[in-house]
Amino acid sequence: MMSLTANCLIIFTRYPEPGKTKTRLIPALGELGAAQLHRRMAEHTVQQAKAVSCPIEVWYVGGTKELMQDWLGTDLRYQEQPAGDLGDRMCAAFRSAFEQGYRSVIIIGTDCPGITTALLAQSFAELQNQVVAIGPAIDGGYYLIGLQRLVPELFQGITWSTATVFAETLAIIDRLQLSIWRLPPLPDIDLPADLPYLEPHWIAKTGCSE
């Protein structure tokens, strides 16, 4: 029987298909380069996540379960993301994990190369006492959200993919009087203007020519 103190880490990502992956980076990197950069960031995220030593679920878009397993390995759990906006999909992922009996659940994407094992471990530790753990992205969104219990309101009425996502989420947290732990702000890599936040070798290894 699963321990009620068990943690679960959920990674939202996309299969790295050129032309359908990191499309806002295509003007700077080309279709292949954008997909390869996404591939590298996702692999880095999974590497950091595995060192936390908790069950990891990969909720994916594009590709198939078999393609995802060939890419990231068979030692992870895979789930295709359902229909709906980002809030609907995150809420569904949290609900699924809590229904399985996990006590603390964290969702991250694969766009933040600053994610580390230490940040993930600290977030789980803080969730023993806080209802919400959240990592603000410098573009106004967030790169990590963790919950001690399902709070559907956090994913409703948010203007997703805008610079107000974090502020809108904080307002809901304040309104519901939820206890919160904030991680340090980190950059997401979504636009050409974000590329300088990467170490040079991240771009050098992508083979950005089409």
Q: Provide the residue range defining the domain that includes 38.
A: 7-204
Domain CATH for 50: 3.90.550.10
CA distance 2 to 37: 37
Q: How far apart are CA 51 and CA 181, in angstroms?
A: 22
Would you state the pLDDT for residue 205? 52
Instruction: Please name the amino acid found at residue 84.
Output: G
pLDDT at 204: 54
Average pLDDT of the residues in 183-189: 96
Asked if residue 58 is part of any domain, the answer here is yes
Query: How much is the pLDDT for 2?
Result: 46
Name residue 123's amino acid: S
pLDDT, greater one: 121 or 204: 121
Q: Give 184: exposed, middle or buried? Use CB within 10 Å, 0-12, 13-18, 19+.
A: exposed
For 3-26, the pLDDT digits (tens) are: 445 999 999 999 999 999 999 999
Average pLDDT, the chain: 93
Does the predicted TM-score (pTM) go above 0.75? yes
- Which helix (H) or strand (E) element contains residue 57? strand 56-61
Q: What angle do CA 35, 41, 44 make, to 5 degrees?
A: 140
18: three-class secondary structure by DSSP? coil
Q: Give the CA diameter of the chain.
A: 51
The total number of structural domains that make up the chain: 1
Residues 127-173: pLDDT tens digits?
999 999 999 999 999 999 999 999 999 999 999 999 999 999 999 99
The predicted-structure confidence for 30-41, as pLDDT tens digits, reads as follows 999 999 999 999
Whether the pLDDT of residue 175 is over 90: the answer is: yes
**Pairing state between β 104-108 and 132-136:** unpaired
In a domain, 190, yes or no: yes
Would you place residue 53 in the very low, low, confident or very high pLDDT band (cuts 50, 70, 90)? confident
- Determine, yes or no, domain membership for 2: no
Distances from the Cα of 17 to the Cα of 63, 64, 83, 117, 209, angstroms: 8, 12, 20, 27, 15
- pLDDT given for residue 202 in this prediction: 75
Which has the higher per-residue pLDDT, 4 or 197?
197
φ and ψ of 71, to 5 deg: -80, -55
Does some domain include residue 93?
yes
In a domain? residue 1: no
Does some domain include residue 210?
A: no
Strand ranges across the sheet with 142-147: 77-80, 56-61, 7-14, 104-108, 142-147, 132-136, 180-182
For residue 112, give every residue at least 6 positions away whose Cβ sits within 8 Å of its Cβ, in sequence order, or none.
Answer: 41, 45, 135, 137, 143, 144, 186, 187, 188, 189
User: Mean pLDDT, to the nearest integer, of 83-93?
Assistant: 97
Q: How many CA atoms lie within 13 A of 25 on its CB side?
A: 25
Q: Is residue 174 part of a domain?
A: yes
The average pLDDT across 161-188 equals: 97
Q: Does a structural domain hold residue 88?
A: yes
200 pLDDT band, cuts 50/70/90, is confident
